[in-house]
């Protein structure tokens, strides 16, 4: 209140997201459809049709590109008014909240009986599973997969949402609690923490909001490797051959040896170059390929020829 539209737009990214959606015919039509359905009061005791509201929400998030839906769900906010608009994105009074909070395990059990909900929940646990093996806390540093799995849960009884309009901390949760879990309380709390205390999900939402989700850390960060010093005697291999010493010693030699045992000649140029290199170490590999004898081998052949020519003279002298 008291702020002009231009100033409000600059400070309210969620409002900008709504305007962007209204400029797209498909986004505007489906968003208006679920808002109307979820706000339609049926009676004094039944404020809306939760089933129809969920169906309309699923259609919206399934049929509208993420460039619009993600901006509505994960817009960044600096004031409570913006955060409350973000929380109201899915019309929580109908799609999210209820008179009493059910047990989270009961909610999970109900989801697992529906094949689509079960699949979406499995995707969420896979793509938003917090991990210490990546810098971002997400599997493969993939923020988009986590956010997509989160959006996929909206429109079911297990629908997650922001629990308040806080701008300092983001807390996501389904509408449930772990009261009355009995001896399953630990499992229930663990399931609930997958939403409320999930660094992957939290980092993904914050990164999208501040525009850093595109330039996250590399998916395969370079690890510090101590390289062995190279020596002048190291064999120079072709560019398309693995320069691992183990690969050279076993794969190449075994390939050439198997060819020799079968009495075959190497076919490809790569086999030839490698086997000819090995032939310099053994004199009986390819005796008919004299053009591939090295200079040392050639001088040795000339010495042997001179010795054979001198043999008759020595025999006559004896």
213 vs 27, more confident = 27
The average pLDDT across 61-72 equals: 96
Is the model's pLDDT at 236 over the cut of 90?
Answer: no
pLDDT of 197 > 70? The answer is yes
Locus of tokens 């990546």: 134
Residue with token string 């086999």:
271
Token pair recorded at residue 97:
């909240």
- Higher pLDDT residue, 241 or 96? 96
pLDDT mean across residues, the chain: 75
Say whether 149 sits in a helix, a strand or coil: helix
pLDDT tens digits along 305-318? 455 555 555 555 55
The answer to whether residue 4 scores a pLDDT higher than 90 is no
Count of residues for the chain?
A: 318
Report phi then psi at 281, rounded to 5: -90, -20
More confident residue, 79 or 137: 79
Token readout for 192 is 């609930």
Q: Which of 17-26, 89-98, 248-257, 293-302 has the lowest mean pLDDT?
A: 248-257
* pLDDT above 70 (res 213): no
Share of the chain above pLDDT 90, in %: 53
Q: Report the distance separating Cα 290 and Cα 294, nearest Å.
A: 9
Instruction: State percent of the chain over pLDDT 70.
Output: 63
Task: Give the pLDDT score at 299.
Answer: 46
Place of tokens 């090995």: 278
Q: Region 128-136: what's the mean pLDDT?
A: 80
Task: Determine the pLDDT at residue 183.
Answer: 94
Higher pLDDT, 19 or 210: 19
Top-confidence residue, 286 or 200? 200
Please, is 73 exposed, middle or buried when counting C-beta atoms within 10 Å of its C-beta (0-12, 13-18, 19+)? buried
Most confident of the following: 39-43, 101-105, 311-315: 101-105
Determine how many CB atoms are found less than 10 A away from the CB of residue 230. 7
**pTM for the predicted model, two decimal places:** 0.64
Please state the φ and ψ torsions of residue 77, each to the nearest 5 degrees: -135, 145
Of 102-106, 266-270, 278-282, which one has max mean pLDDT?
102-106
State the DSSP code for 182.
G
* All structural domains of the chain: 13-210 (1.10.220.110)
Are 171 and 190 in contact, with CB atoms under 8 Å apart? no
Q: Could you give the count of Cα atoms lying within 13 Å of 211 in the half-sphere of its Cβ?
A: 1
Q: Is the pLDDT of residue 58 over 50?
A: yes
Q: Indicate if the pLDDT at residue 178 is higher than 50.
A: yes
């Amino acid at each position: 209140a008291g702020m002009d539209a231009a100033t409000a737009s600059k400070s309210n990214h969620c409002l900008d997201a709504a305007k962007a959606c209204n400029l797209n015919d498909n986004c505007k039509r489906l968003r208006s459809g679920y808002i109307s359905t979820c706000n339609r009061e049926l009676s004094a005791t039944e404020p809306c049709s939760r089933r129809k509201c969920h169906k309309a929400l699923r259609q919206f998030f399934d049929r509208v590109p993420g460039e619009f839906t993600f901006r509505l769900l994960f817009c960044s906010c600096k004031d409570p008014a913006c955060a409350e608009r973000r929380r109201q994105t899915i019309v929580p009074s109908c799609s999210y909240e209820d008179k009493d909070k059910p047990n989270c395990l009961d909610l999970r059990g109900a989801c697992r009986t529906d094949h689509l909900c079960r699949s979406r929940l499995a995707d969420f646990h896979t793509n938003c599973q917090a991990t210490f093996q990546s810098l971002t806390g997400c599997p493969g540093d993939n923020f988009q997969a986590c956010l997509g799995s989160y959006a996929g849960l909206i429109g079911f009884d297990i629908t997650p949402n922001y629990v308040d309009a806080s701008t300092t901390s983001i807390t996501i949760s389904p509408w449930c609690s772990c009261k009355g879990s009995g001896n399953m309380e630990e499992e229930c709390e663990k399931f609930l923490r997958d939403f409320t205390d999930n660094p992957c999900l939290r980092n993904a939402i914050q990164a999208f909001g501040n525009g850093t989700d595109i330039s996250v850390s590399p998916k395969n960060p370079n690890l510090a490797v101590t390289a062995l010093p190279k020596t002048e005697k190291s064999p120079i291999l072709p560019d398309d051959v693995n320069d691992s010493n183990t690969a050279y010693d076993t794969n190449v030699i075994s390939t050439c040896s198997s060819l020799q045992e079968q009495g075959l000649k190497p076919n490809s140029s790569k086999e030839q170059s490698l086997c000819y290199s090995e032939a310099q170490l053994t004199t009986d590999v390819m005796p008919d390929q004299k053009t591939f004898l090295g200079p040392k081998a050639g001088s040795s052949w000339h010495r042997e020829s001179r010795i054979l020519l001198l043999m008759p003279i020595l025999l006559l002298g004896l």
